[in-house]
Structure 1
Amino acid sequence: MNWRLFAWGGVAAAALFLTIGGGWLLTLPSRAASGNAPPIASQEGDATIAALKPPKRQRPLIAIVGINEQTETTDYLMPYGILKRADVADVVTLATRPGPVTLFPVLKVEPDATIAAFDAEHPDGADYVIVPAMRRDDDPVVVQWIRQQAQKGAIVIGVCVGTMVVASTGLLDGKRATTHWYSLKDLREKHPTIHYIRDRRIVVDQGVATTTGITASMPMSLTLVEAIAGREKAEAVARDIGLPHWDARHDSGAFQFTRPFALTAIGNTLAFWNKEQLGIALAPGIDEVSLALAADAWSRTYRSRTVTFAATAEAQPSRNGLRILPDQVAAQWPAERLLQPVGSLAPAQALDQTLLRIEARYGGRTADFVAMQLEYPRERVPD
């Protein structure tokens, strides 16, 4: 079963579940096999940092690439926001074609440049290329461009299901990698020479890095800051975004397809009479990381759809200069469907607060369902 059923089609997912039948649900585990994330040996951590050292420039150039037709919201915005906040590299957002990038499951942004314009300005290529999840794993334009950047010496970083995009380039053949828990079956079937590594949020092998699910782009970004500017700088940025600890440790067994996960997807999808359109006010200076995490989380409940609104149709500049286009032009939003601002909270705390608000509105199962999709460690409610 494909992860994209959850990223793009709740109705399709529920229809498939119902077609398979209730007997199949009984074969699913009642809970994930959660354990303790194994510690990371200091030698392994040091090797990861060494492997991610800037390959070319003293002040590196980081390109975050996406396709215009749907690139994952948090994969695209979180590395941008954290790395721009750190100010240890020049960071640009790119698209394969002119025009805005429609992110999924929510938000629309104006990228800094197209890949063609980037190539014209930087013929020697980027130092790092960050690859989010995309609607297509094998978009020929983006696949060819990533290959070319690697040939020019860039370190390629696949975030979440961006691993599948990087795998389509052939750069991961015979190497170690990880990906979002729900895409592991696809990775093994389509790219059998790749060696999957469990219990690691970040895996680096010969110029290519990969991560687990969506929220792993936060520790990945901090690891990159450490590789570029040292531990002290990374710790300062981590305090700023509200993440006191980060490394590659991960409990892979805590994330799997369970009966509560399936039942929540079905129940929330079929409750068509109880859907909400929730509004997030866009304003200049909004923190793009907190916005991405909150909007992404609320849009994965299968009970709500999140839209942004502003008084004009003009793009609103984020805290770090990214231009975000409102979904709707409106001066205000109905109070009962207006999401509370998260911009005053550190990004990591914004996600925790959002999950608590989802739990208060829709129940603990739905909050856990969202956290599972984001591959975010969270205390589960009892079954």
Structure 2
Amino acid sequence: MAMGKVFRFVLVSSIAMLLGGAATALPAAGDADRDRQVFVDAMAPHGAARPVVAVLALNEGTEMTDLLLPTAVLRRADVADVVVVAPRAGEVALYPALRVRGAISFEDFARRYPAGASHVVVPAMVDDDDPAVTGWLRQQAASGARVIGVCSGVRVVGRAGLLDGRRFSGHWYDRRTLLERHRGAVHVPDRRYVVDGPVATTTGITASVPAMLALVEALGGPARAAALAGELGVSDWGPSHDSAAFGLDTPRAFHYLVNKAAFWRGETLQVDVADGADEVALALVADAWVRTGHVSLVAVSDAAAVTLRSGLVLASSPPVAGRSRVPRETALPPVRQLDRALCEIGERHGDARRDWVMQEMEYPMPEGGLCGR
């Protein structure tokens, strides 16, 4: 993708973040168990046909975890046909790192699935108002698809005209922008995911974990969701969230702007990949390291590309001798690998930088803390 476009995206996001923390949110209604059941009921299949879940992408830039995690979890669950769909077939550039192939075009999707999608998952994108993307999303919603905006993908959902008058969640830095853009929209705090009619929304990047498990529960039942939760290393996929823990005070704002202004990276790390690699752990760990602001990241293997566990093809490069590798403990479940990466980040770059990464990913501190402390 063009570096100028990425820089403009980063600058606009920076300004939005600085403003977003000041917005006032209305209190959430009801308890978390009820809200989870409301989500499950709203996302349940219509009719006997096998559901079709489209994970929407913009070829020029789609958030890495927002795309890879839903695709991987839903394909692993085997409760729906899951396709990545973009304006053009082929490669999707991911940010803050990596590139994958395997998207089908809107035209190919229409030929394969003339009835349209039952659900559309919308990740964050470098352009939240691409006409082809928003037009296709609007068309799918009009045909009856349920829509799930993940993280700043909620901005794309809004641009498609699907947020006006609705209760919503979203990454904390988008709050003010969304309230200003969408007449009658109401932000709901303290919920990792919220549903209002056929439109669901989530908080920041890591909210894709509980939201996709809740979608698996809706499509395949609680036992299937519980089995996948165990694989991922989480015990609960309810919507409870402490919104007050996330936002920009002055020190955080300073760290954020310094990180984003440093579009150069002080170090390039390589992450080893192979056929069958678990993209959930890969995405979470890679996202965390690059968001330190200190590193860029390259996937390496002896082949030019590897096929991930989900079937998506990840572009890779030959390893470079002497270049540091991303520390990984692949024996751990994926979310626990994220915890380990955050510990490594804290040891290498300090707790303040680690905490900032958790802010960007909107990742709550695990019970008992990180690293056994």
Distance apart, 1:192 and its partner CA: 3.2
Q: Give matches, 1:201-350, under 5 Å.
A: 201-266=192-257, 275-313=266-304, 315-326=305-316, 329-334=317-322, 337-350=324-337
Judge conservation of contact 1:10–1:302 (CA < 8 Å) in 2. Answer: no
3-state SS of paired residue (1:356): helix
- Give the whole-Å Cα distance in 2 for the aligned partners of 1:353 and 1:242: 12
- Give the whole-Å Cα distance in 1 for the aligned partners of 2:271 and 2:29: 38
Any idea what the Cα deviations from partners look like across 1:244-268, whole Å, max 9, x if unmatched?
A: 1121111111100022312323555
User: Are the structure 2 counterparts of residues 302 and 8 from structure 1 closer, same or farther at C-alpha, using a change threshold of 3 Å?
Assistant: farther
Which of 329, 351, 355 aligns to 2:342? It is 355
Q: Give matches, 1:1-383, under 5 Å.
A: 9=10, 40-266=31-257, 275-313=266-304, 315-326=305-316, 329-334=317-322, 337-378=324-365
- Give the whole-Å Cα distance in 2 for the aligned partners of 1:166 and 1:71: 14
User: Are the structure 2 counterparts of residues 11 and 332 from structure 1 closer, same or farther at C-alpha, using a change threshold of 3 Å?
Assistant: farther
Distance apart, 1:114 and its partner CA: 1.1
Judge conservation of contact 2:45–2:219 (CA < 8 Å) in 1. Answer: yes
Distance apart, 1:185 and its partner CA: 1.2
Higher alpha-carbon deviation: 359-368 or 266-275: 266-275
User: Are the structure 2 counterparts of residues 194 and 344 from structure 1 closer, same or farther at C-alpha, using a change threshold of 3 Å?
Assistant: same
Cα RMSD for the two superposed structures: 2.8
- Give the whole-Å Cα distance in 2 for the aligned partners of 1:273 and 1:82: 33
3-state SS of paired residue (1:186): helix
- Give the whole-Å Cα distance in 2 for the aligned partners of 1:69 and 1:266: 24
- Give the whole-Å Cα distance in 1 for the aligned partners of 2:281 and 2:193: 22
- Give the whole-Å Cα distance in 2 for the aligned partners of 1:12 and 1:127: 31
- Give the whole-Å Cα distance in 1 for the aligned partners of 2:91 and 2:143: 27
3-state SS of paired residue (2:275): coil
3-state SS of paired residue (1:344): coil
Any idea what the Cα deviations from partners look like across 1:223-256, whole Å, max 9, x if unmatched?
A: 0011111111111110111011121111111100
User: Are the structure 2 counterparts of residues 365 and 121 from structure 1 closer, same or farther at C-alpha, using a change threshold of 3 Å?
Assistant: same
User: Are the structure 2 counterparts of residues 175 and 9 from structure 1 closer, same or farther at C-alpha, using a change threshold of 3 Å?
Assistant: closer
Judge conservation of contact 1:7–1:104 (CA < 8 Å) in 2. Answer: no
User: Are the structure 2 counterparts of residues 218 and 11 from structure 1 closer, same or farther at C-alpha, using a change threshold of 3 Å?
Assistant: closer
Runs of 4+ in 1 over 6 A off after TM superposition: 4-7, 269-274
3-state SS of paired residue (2:299): strand
User: Are the structure 2 counterparts of residues 11 and 161 from structure 1 closer, same or farther at C-alpha, using a change threshold of 3 Å?
Assistant: closer
Q: For residue 20 of structure 1, what is the aligned residue in structure 2?
A: none
Q: For residue 32 of structure 1, what is the aligned residue in structure 2?
A: none
Q: Which runs of 5+ in 2 are unaligned?
A: 23-27
Any idea what the Cα deviations from partners look like across 1:110-169, whole Å, max 9, x if unmatched?
A: 124112101111110011100001111111101111111112211011001111101111
3-state SS of paired residue (2:90): coil
User: Are the structure 2 counterparts of residues 8 and 84 from structure 1 closer, same or farther at C-alpha, using a change threshold of 3 Å?
Assistant: same
Distance apart, 1:46 and its partner CA: 2.2
Distance apart, 1:271 and its partner CA: 7.8
Q: Which runs of 5+ in 1 are unaligned?
A: 17-23, 30-36
Distance apart, 1:11 and its partner CA: 12
Counterpart amino acid of 1:111?
G
- Percent pairwise identity: 42
Any idea what the Cα deviations from partners look like across 1:63-102, whole Å, max 9, x if unmatched?
A: 1010101011110011111111111111111121133100
Any idea what the Cα deviations from partners look like across 1:255-300, whole Å, max 9, x if unmatched?
A: 0002231232355567899811111112111101111111111111
Distance apart, 1:45 and its partner CA: 2.7
Judge conservation of contact 1:38–1:250 (CA < 8 Å) in 2. Answer: no
TM-score (norm 1): 0.86
Any idea what the Cα deviations from partners look like across 1:157-194, whole Å, max 9, x if unmatched?
A: 10011111011111221111111001111111111321
TM-score (norm 2): 0.88
3-state SS of paired residue (1:100): strand
